[in-house]
Amino acid sequence: MTDKPFNPFKMAQQQFDSVAEKLGLDESTRELLRNPLREYHFLIPVKMDDGSVKVFQGFRVQHNDARGPCKGGTRFHPHETADTVKALATWMTWKCAVVDIPLGGGKGGVVCDPHHLSEREQEGICRGWIRQIARNIGPVQDVPAPDVMTSPQHMLWMMDEYEAIHNGRYPGVITGKPVGSGGSLGRKEATGYGLIYTVREALREMGVDIKKTTASFQGFGNVAQFAGKLYTEYGGTIIAVSCWDQDDQTSYTFRRTSGVHVEELLTITNRFGGIDKEKAKNLGYEVLSGDAWIEQEVDILLPCALENQINANTAPNISSKVIMIGEGANGPSTPEADEIIKQKGIFMIPDFLANAGGVTCSYFEQVQCNMNYFWTKDEVLSKLDTKMTEAFLQVSAMAREKKVYMRDAAYLISIQRVAQACKLRGWI
């Protein structure tokens, strides 16, 4: 049991340190890679609809750019902290490296709650965030993207502000833009689909028919919705989905043992991925506590909401039926939980591999923007499938070869690639 306050950056460093030890990395490489290269903290004054001015806190962290420009989302969240952003930027470095795309790791954030902000106020935050960081990002420096509670519209406002400041057209400055305004087809599907491509491959290696499997999701936002769609298209059955209830300020799990119909559930889901309780009851869902998603007797658990959800307190509640965890969210499992998951013999598809579909498609978006030629959705998704499948197979081969946990195998591959890039550049 652990009651220490959760610090995602400490966790990212802890994960790194253990792999650095296994790889026998020298001291200077360790020091360089366990910390961000650059970290920006700034204030964003925004004129609110009532005429007052509110000052928001913003961040951008560039963890490492030895393999290419930094890449990573910008989150709007009331509990955003500098350490969360640092952890997420670090994981982006490993994520880009594990799928072998020529990008580094970055992440941004603003402490705010879009639930309580008008469209105009959100536009003010987006433009203000860019004004503070415009000199330090760009197509060849650092390329932001959407993340929790930021959307293609937010990205377009950000691009527009950047272009106004730099007096030119720079569609490659930001990804996750709306289709038709420099966005790529398939981007909204990419993270969820990418997750399920890896789940499909893992089940194939285990000799398990996906059609005979059941799953429980935490979250019903962008990642979970598309993961749920593809998983059910492949024939899997979703038993439960949990999400945050803004009115009650708590989370609930929606369970229907006959199976969740994703399209139907979407009709009663708001734009923040929150499900309407009363309407769900009418559709035959049981409404359980927020933690119930992890206790379900299913084959696959798919945490697709927040970090620190599978921890020393919750991991013991995982059913003995579970054979696999696919981490759609960033950092959903703590190192303490990893130990319990290993003891239970559950196959883990770690976050920075499982959810790399989003950044891979963002990379495709950059490539298309640079060529000024856009691919069809099928072309994008088939390239994504190839990249995710290749990455999964490399990591699982490494895990078998070195007899290590999948998270360690993914780290071994990515840290080695980044350390090598730093070495070749003569940095270390």
Q: Which residues are catalytic?
A: 107
Instruction: Kindly state whether residue 152 participates in binding ligand NAD, applying the rule CB under 6 A.
Output: no
Q: Which is nearer to ligand NAD, 218 or 333 (CB)?
A: 218
Give 220 or 411: the residue with its C-beta nearer to ligand NAD.
220
Q: Which stretch binds ligand NAD (CB under 6 A): 1-9, 40-48, 218-226, 402-410?
A: 218-226
Work out which of 91, 197, 220, 285 binds ligand NAD, going by CB under 6 A.
220
For residues 276-315, which are near ligand NAD according to CB under 6 A? 290, 304-306
Q: Which is nearer to ligand NAD, 40 or 220 (CB)?
A: 220
Q: What is the 3-state secondary structure of the chain? A: CCCCCCCHHHHHHHHHHHHHHHHCCCHHHHHHHCCCCEEEEEEEEEECCCCCEEEEEEEEEEEECCCCCEEEEEEECCCCCHHHHHHHHHHHHHHHHHCCCCCEEEEEEECCCHHHCCHHHHHHHHHHHHHHHCCCCECCCEEEEECCCCCHHHHHHHHHHHHHHHCCCCHHHCCCCCECCCECCCHHHHHHHHHHHHHHHHHHHHCCCHHHCEEEEECCCHHHHHHHHHHHHCCCEEEEEEEEECCCCEEEEEECCCCCCHHHHHCCECCCCCECHHHHHHCCCEEEEHHHHHHCCCCEEEECCCCCCECCCCHHHCCCCCCEEECCCCCCECHHHHHHHHHCCCEEECHHHHCCHHHHHHHHHHHHHHHCCCCCHHHHHHHHHHHHHHHHHHHHHHHHHHCCCHHHHHHHHHHHHHHHHHHHCCCC
Give 115 or 321: the residue with its C-beta nearer to ligand NAD: 115
Tokens 């799928």, residue located: 99
Residues 6 or more apart in contact with residue 391 via CB below 8 angstroms: 98, 99, 100, 198, 353, 356
- Choose one: 28-36, 41-49, 242-250, 336-344; the region binding ligand NAD (CB under 6 A): 242-250
Minimum Å distance from CB 408 to ligand NAD?
A: 20
Contact criterion met (CB below 8 Å) for 186 and 377: yes
- Residue 232 within binding range of ligand NAD, rule CB under 6 A: no
Q: Which of 20, 325 has the CB closer to ligand NAD?
A: 325
* Region from 64-72, 311-319, 322-330, 372-380 binding ligand NAD, contact rule CB under 6 A: 322-330
Among 101, 149, 199, 353, binds ligand NAD (CB under 6 A): 149
Tokens 């990205």 belong to residue:
155
Minimum CB–partner distance for residue 424 and ligand NAD (Å): 28
Residue 221 in contact with ligand NAD, rule: CB under 6 A? yes
Interacting residues with ligand NAD between 175 and 194 (CB under 6 A): 191
Q: How many residues bind ligand NAD (CB under 6 A)?
A: 26
For residue 151, state whether it binds ligand NAD (rule: CB under 6 A): no
Residue of closest CB approach to ligand NAD: 221
Instruction: Identify the residue among 72, 104, 171, 219 touching ligand NAD (CB under 6 A).
Output: 219
Instruction: Kindly identify the residues of this chain, within the stretch 52-91, that bind ligand NAD according to CB under 6 A.
Output: none
Whether 97 and 414 have beta carbons less than 8 Å apart is answered as yes
The binder of ligand NAD chosen from 243, 323, 325, 418 (CB under 6 A): 243
The smaller minimum CB distance to ligand NAD, of residues 218 and 414, is found at: 218
Tokens of 56: 């928001």
Contacting residue, 237, 242, 311, 333, with ligand NAD by CB under 6 A: 242
Residue from 157, 244, 363, 411 that binds ligand NAD (CB under 6 A)?
244
Task: Compare residues 29 and 330 and give the one whose CB is closer to ligand NAD.
Answer: 330
Give the pairing type, strands 214-218 and 300-303: parallel
Residue 333 binding ligand NAD, by CB under 6 A: no
* Least spacing, CB of residue 237 vs ligand NAD, in Å: 20
**Which stretches of the chain bind ligand NAD, using CB under 6 A?**
147-149, 191, 218-224, 242-244, 251, 273-274, 290, 304-306, 328-330, 355, 358
